[in-house]
Chain A
Amino acid sequence: MAGVLTDREQASGSVGATAPGGAPSGSGSRGDTPAPGRRPGRLGRPGRLGRPGRGMSRMRRNDLFWAAVFILPTLLGLVVFYLWPVVRTLLISFTETGPFGGSEFVGLANYRELFGDARLWGTMLNTLKFTVVALLGIPVALVIAALLSTEGLRGVRIYRALYFLPVVTMPAAVGLIWRTLYNGDVGVINALLGLVGIEGTNWLSNPATALYAIAAVGIWLSLGTQIVIFLAAIQGVPKDLYEAAALDGAGRIRQFWSITLPQISPSVFFISVLAVIGALQTFDLIFVMTGPTNPAYPQTETIVAQFYQRGFVENQQGYAAAIALVILVVIVAVTALQFRLQKKWVHYV
């Protein structure tokens, strides 16, 4: 495991660079890993046989053969099930499914319809709200990670496991659990609020609260991941920085603001990129917690839920494909914006 851990530490050290979770970190992620294979002159390569030219080409051909054997199965699978589909989705987005199946070319009609579709704009707005609320989980994760890094604190491993529990739980089950908790009449949340004299509502069917109630569950779900990554980052901060600060009379809170936060800002950036990409694709929780019969559905439906609805329920593949491309554009644009903004607040040491 040590190897993976070091790689991950590298990743959080030069964040964004190796963000395999789907972060479009662009060209940065390609060149950053040293490729020891390229080191020249290992293995006495030119001329094990004493004849540099022929020996080399024979070996290289040999390598090429084995590379093909090792890579082709995965390459073929990726081309068929992942790379070709991206092209195909683009093509589908220019078509419309006829009433008797079959599809015809309609040019940009789907895109034109899409831009005038009030419902789609509604889902876009909902998705953005989800994303903004999701970001509020990051400070919470930071505070918990900072508390867990208290020197000499007991039970850190137990706390970490407990906070991590939702991460390993099936989102469909999580949705069911929170539906019971949020229930307006017999839910435990309203009962607890009643104890302090607050009258709750029917959280998931009240259009004013449903989105925020679901987004809170989203935070609850991903807190564990964020804490674990922040913990590792905080452990990487040089101890002498704290000692120096303590000598200067800085308290714990001051140390957190002036040392911990700037030092781990690359990890904070990494997490915020992942959180945004995840939130922009919110689907499972919506699907389980509201659903089309819920009066608050228009206020919670996300763009991915709308993609699912059009593509697989209403049989409008062309329109759904156009939505998929809009999702791609939104994710790329928002991530690019984050990379631009990071220069203002991320400190690379």
Chain B
Amino acid sequence: MSELATRLPRARGRKRLRRNHLGVHAVLILGSVVMVGPFFWEVMTSLKTLGETLTVPPTVFPRSPRWSNYGDVFDTLPFGQMFWNSTIQTLGRVLGQLVLCSMAGYAFARFEFRGRGLLFGLFLSVLMVPSQLFLLPQYEIVSGLGWLNSLQALIVPGLFSAFGTFLLRQFFLSLPRELEEAAKLDGANHWQIFTRIMLPLAKPGLIALAVLDVLWSWNDLMWPLVVNNDPTKMPLSVGLASLIGQFSVDTTTLMAGSVLATLPVLLLFVVLQKQFIQGIAFSGSKG
């Protein structure tokens, strides 16, 4: 009897807790629908016939998936070439920043030299200036080098990053110094210590920077829009945006193109979810 008496309220409490969760889930699921719904609609539209996209009220599922919309993307745009351009732009910036920022970040974290604080302040000041103040002169420089409509125009200014240097400096500061000191006693020079000991330890920081760079490079719009207007030299972001004013392009093609353009980063997100979320949480912003 007494056992029952004590169990009863607890059971009721647990039930109430679960019912509370039910309400929480209801709100969160509703929110998820708003967040994911547009993507669902994008994929559905990409598989419809043009006629199906024009019905009122709209139908949700295509009667039979029209995969040829994806083929149309390649007829409308030099899509393969643009995909390649985006890939090269992204890979170039990521690899370049990983090398350059890790070196500079390590130096700021570990070397002592006069003017280090001042120099680091200079780096940080770049972070605080909105990008519009760089664009016109960057365009002048790239144009002066004869690089308009080229892949190096997409890559080179993005090789250097104050943010990447800052991020990796913070990371190197958080690593213990004992290993370096031991290596130093063994007669290793700074370059050996950096490449053989510190870089392997800094892998999580490097991955965080790489993930952010992939996101920013792949999605970057304004800079490539400004320097490359030849469709065969555009990355996907600009290629997609260039379709908008053209009345001859069907919604179905646009949606198929959007799916293809977003897929690579999306797949990377699925694989490296934790790194994406932590990277973004560290940087706090998207651009």
A-side contacts of B275, CB under 8 Å: 1
Q: A3-B174, A144-B31, A169-B266 are in contact. Are A327 and B278 (CB under 8 A)?
A: no
Task: Check: B67 CB closer than 8 A to any chain A CB.
Answer: no
Are B121 and A30 within 8 A (Cβ)? yes
Please, how many angstroms separate the alpha-carbon atoms of A287 and B128 in the complex? 24
Q: Which of chain B's residues have a CB closer than 8 A to the CB of A307?
A: 132
Evaluate contact between A291 and B35: CB separation under 8 angstroms.
Answer: no
Nearest Cβ in chain A — how far from B3, in angstroms? Answer: 25
Q: Are the CB atoms of A281 and B112 closer together than 8 Å? A: no
**In whole Å, how far is A247's beta carbon from the nearest beta carbon of chain B?**
15
Number of interface residues of B (CB under 8 A): 127
Question: Is the Cβ of B103 less than 8 Å from the Cβ of A194?
Answer: no
CB neighbours of B1 from chain A (8 A): none
Among the listed A7, A63, A152, which residue makes an inter-chain contact with B282, where contact means beta carbons less than 8 Å apart?
A7
Q: How far is the CB of A138 from chain B (nearest CB, A)?
A: 13
Q: Does residue A55 face the partner (Cβ distance < 8 Å to B)?
A: no
In the complex, number of A-B residue pairs with CB atoms less than 8 Å apart = 351
With A20-B167, A75-B119, A180-B45 as contacts: A317 and B262 at CB distance below 8 Å: no
Q: Is there an interface contact between B111 and A170, defined as CB atoms closer than 8 Å?
A: no
User: Contact at A85–B281, with CB atoms within 8 Å?
Assistant: no
Select one of A21, A29, A60, A174 contacting B285, CB under 8 A: A21
Given A22-B128, A278-B287, also A89-B113 (CB < 8 A): no
Does B208 belong to the interface (CB within 8 Å)?
yes
Residue B274, interface by CB 8 Å: yes
Q: Which residues of A contact B121 (CB under 8 A)?
A: 30
A36 is an interface residue with CB less than 8 A from chain B = yes
Q: Does B24 lie within 8 Å of A4, measured CB to CB? A: no
Contacts of B114 on A, CB cut-off 8 Å? 64
Question: Interface digits, B119-153 against A, CB 8 Å rule (1 contact, 0 not)?
Answer: 11111111111111111111111000000000000
Q: Interface of chain A, helix or strand or loop or mixed?
A: helix
Query: Which residues does chain A contribute within 8 Å of B57, judged by CB atoms?
Result: 191, 194
Q: Could you tell me the distance between the alpha carbons of A88 and B198 in the complex, rounded to whole angstroms?
A: 38
Which chain B residues border A82 with CB–CB below 8 Å?
A: 126, 129, 134, 160, 162
Contact A170 B237 (CB under 8 A): yes
Confirm or deny: B251 has a beta carbon within 8 angstroms of a beta carbon on chain A: yes
Task: Let me know if A170 and B136 touch, CB within 8 A.
Answer: no
Q: How large is the interface on A (under 10, 10 to 19, 20 to 34, 35 or more residues)?
A: 35 or more
Contact A164 B41 (CB under 8 A): no
Q: Are A144 and B28 in contact (CB under 8 A)?
A: yes
Cross-chain contact A74 with B138 (CB below 8 angstroms): no
Task: Flag if B126 contacts A278 (CB, 8 Å).
Answer: no
Distance in angstroms from A61 CB to nearest chain B CB is 9
Q: Do residues A37 and B112 form an inter-chain contact, with CB atoms below 8 A?
A: yes
Contact partners of A287 in chain B: CB under 8 A: 221, 225, 241
Residues of A within 8 A of B226 (CB): 308, 312
Stretch at the interface among B5-13, B48-56, B69-77: B48-56
Most buried by A among B58, B141, B161: B58
A228 at the binding interface (Cβ < 8 Å)? yes
Judge if A66 is at the interface, Cβ distance under 8 Å. yes
A270 within 8 Å of B by Cβ? yes
- Known contacts A85-B138, A165-B35, A176-B258; is A185 also within 8 Å of B101 by CB? no
Determine whether the beta carbon of B177 is less than 8 Å from that of A225.
Answer: no
Closest 8 CB pairs of A and B: A77-B160, A21-B285, A85-B137, A70-B107, A3-B174, A173-B258, A88-B137, A1-B204
Residues of chain B touching chain A, judged by Cβ–Cβ distance below 8 Å, are 17, 20-21, 24-25, 27-28, 31-32, 34-36, 38-39, 41-42, 45, 53-58, 100-101, 103-104, 106-114, 116-117, 119-141, 156-157, 159-163, 165-167, 170-171, 173-175, 177, 181, 184, 189-191, 194, 204-205, 207-208, 215, 218-219, 221-222, 225-226, 236-238, 240-241, 244-245, 251, 254-255, 257-258, 261-262, 265-266, 268-269, 273-287
Q: 19 A-B contacts, Cβ less than 8 Å apart?
A: A11-B282, A23-B128, A30-B117, A36-B173, A75-B119, A84-B137, A89-B134, A150-B20, A163-B32, A163-B35, A165-B269, A172-B237, A180-B251, A194-B57, A277-B130, A304-B132, A312-B225, A327-B132, A328-B130
